[in-house]
Amino acid sequence: RLGHAGRPGEGPGEVRILSNFGTAGSEVWITDASLARLSFFGGAGRFARSIRLPSLQPGAGSRALPGTDRVLLGIIGVRTEGRLVSRVLPKYRDLPEWFRPDASPIIETDMEGRFLRILAWEPKPRGECLKEYTAPGGTASIFVPFCSVDLVRVPRNGRYLAVLSHGTPSNNRSPFSITLLGPEGDTLFSRTLTARAERVTAQARDSALQAIERTMRMGRARTGGLRPEDRAALTSLAVAETYPATQDLLVGEDGVVWIRVHADGPRQHWLALDVAGSLIGRYAFDAGVVPASSNGRTVWAVSKDEDDVPSIVRYTFR
C-alpha cells in the first residue's frame, strides 16, 4: 500500500460515505454526498482542505439556467485549473426546460458551481432497453437483458471525456462509435468501429430472465410476491438478439481510451486508442480484473482472489 487518504468519521479529513474520488495534480479529491463536502488530500494522504459541495448556479456561459434548484451536481472530475466536471442529476420529476428527456448533461463549472459550459450529453438508456408497464402504484420498468447501453467516461483528473454509442447490428457486425473530447471541450477524434455480432444463446437468455425473476421476487417478498402485471411483463419481455459489442469504457489520464469488447472465453479483451483515435493495441485481462485507471502504458486495476478479497494490481504494457 502506498498510502491512504481519509478515515471514517465526520470531522475534517474524515468521510462518512465515499461518493466519488480522483486526482487533481498532486492531490487526491473525495466527495461525500452524506456530509455534502468535497475534500482534498496532499502528499502521503495528508488532509489539505474541504469545501461544501457546490450547487449549480447560473454563470456567464448560461442563459439564466432556470430551475437550478431542481438539480444536483454529481462531481466526476476535478481539473487542476479549479474547474469541476459534473453530471447534472435531477432532484424531482419536474425538470428544468433545458433538461433533455433522452440525455443528461455533463457540464463544467467553477469551484463555486457557476455554470461555464455543457461538455457533452450522456445518453439515457434507449427506449428499447427498458420494458415499461403499468402496475398498482405507478409505472414500473425492467431493463432488457443484453441491450446495448451507451457509455460516458472521464478520467480521474477530469481532463478528457469519452462518449461511446452503439449502432444497429447488421451482416453479422455490430457498429459502435467513440468520440473523445479534450480539456477545452474540443473533439480530438470521432470514429466508428465494428465488432463481430454474436447471437445470445438460449441458455444465456433463460439464465438472464430467471435472474430478473428472482430479483423481482425478492423485491416483492414483503408485499405478497409477484403481481399479475409483473408476470405479464416478464412473459412478454423481448431479450436482445445479440450481445452488446462493448461492455465497458475507460479513459486514461493522458487521454488513451480503453474499450472492452465482447469476446468468448474467460478473459476480457480491450482495445486501446490514442488521443488521435489510432489503435495502440489489443490487450487481455483475467476475468476477475477490473481496470480502474491508466496513464501512459500503466493500468491500475482491482483484482479479487478466490476468497473475493480485492487487491490493487499494476499492469505495464510495452
Consecutive H or E run containing 212: helix 202-220
Task: Tell whether the model's pLDDT for residue 63 goes beyond 60.
Answer: no
- Give the residue extent of every domain in the chain: 1-53, 54-124, 127-316
Instruction: Give the helix/strand (H/E) hosting 220.
Output: helix 202-220
Q: Which helix (DSSP H) or strand (DSSP E) does residue 70 occupy?
A: none
Q: Can you tell me the distance from the alpha carbon of 110 to that of 71, in angstroms, rounded to the nearest whole number?
A: 16
Per the model's pLDDT, the better-predicted residue between 81 and 127 turns out to be 81
Summarised one tens digit per residue, pLDDT across range 93-105 is 566 666 666 777 8
Strands 257-261 and 246-251: antiparallel
Q: What is the DSSP letter of 43?
A: G
Banded pLDDT at 2 (limits 50, 70, 90): very low
**Percent of all residues in the chain with a pLDDT value above 70, rounded to a whole number:** 88
The grid cell for 54 is 457546490
Tell me which residue has cell 437468455.
205
In this predicted model, what pLDDT tens digit does every residue of 125-177 receive, in sequence order? 656 788 888 888 788 888 889 988 888 888 878 889 999 999 888 889 999 99
> What phi, psi does 234 have (nearest 5°)?
-65, -40
Query: Of 153, 106, 108, 114, nearest to 257 (Cα)?
Result: 153
Q: What is the pTM of this model?
A: 0.75
State residue 42's pLDDT score: 84
* 61 has pLDDT over 70: no
